[in-house]
Amino acid sequence: MIESYLITSREFYTDTSAVFRKILHEQLVKHTPSYALYRDKTNPNYKFQAEHFVEVCSQFQAIKSFIHRDADLAKSLNATGVHLTSTMFDKIEYAKSLGLEVIVSTHTLEDVQEAESRGADAVTYSPIFASPGKGEAKGVAKLASLVKKVNIKVFGLGGILNQEDVDAIKETNAYGFASIRYFYKDTE
């Protein structure tokens, strides 16, 4: 069993809340991820859309909802947790003090170890496969090696497009995989 982590992206929906809710609901039904992240770096109505995101996720008992970067917003919306960037290690303790689960974006073994030592619940480690604008792919061998060196939950992220990619991540004994395009490829 491998856990799945759906990450939203503006390119797959409009700013219209009804359209966003419909697409998100359809993808949650279709893919039944264990985790879902609302991530949209450019939406001027981020808080409003985040509220819709958490509400849709709450319709699914098994899905943990995460808000990107903003622990206070995650807490106020009763999201499960917050997903912090690789420059926000200093925010882990604060987010945990709010009772939130914390996932941190990481790109090196040292990042993963720091997130673990500071009490994060999980990390995304990326990019595993080629992904636009994300630098050189690390590959599944590096992911497998990393997973053996840490005790934190690790989601492989980056360039995961199909079941073959998911199966390759599963072979590494990673906790799960995280993706944008895997979950939204059929909405284009």
> How crowded is residue 101: how many other Cβ atoms within 10 Å of its Cβ?
19
pLDDT of residue 37: 98
Task: Write down the pLDDT at residue 85.
Answer: 97
Which domain, by its residues, includes 55?
3-187
Q: What is the pLDDT of residues 18-74, one digit of tens each?
A: 999 999 999 999 999 999 999 988 888 899 999 999 999 999 999 999 999 999 999
Q: Which residues contact 57 (CB under 8 A, 6 or more apart)?
A: 24, 28, 36, 63, 64, 65, 79
For residue range 112-125, list pLDDT tens digits in order: 999 999 999 999 99
Single pTM value for the model: 0.95
CATH number at residue 53: 3.20.20.70
Average pLDDT for the chain: 94
* Total domain count, the chain: 1
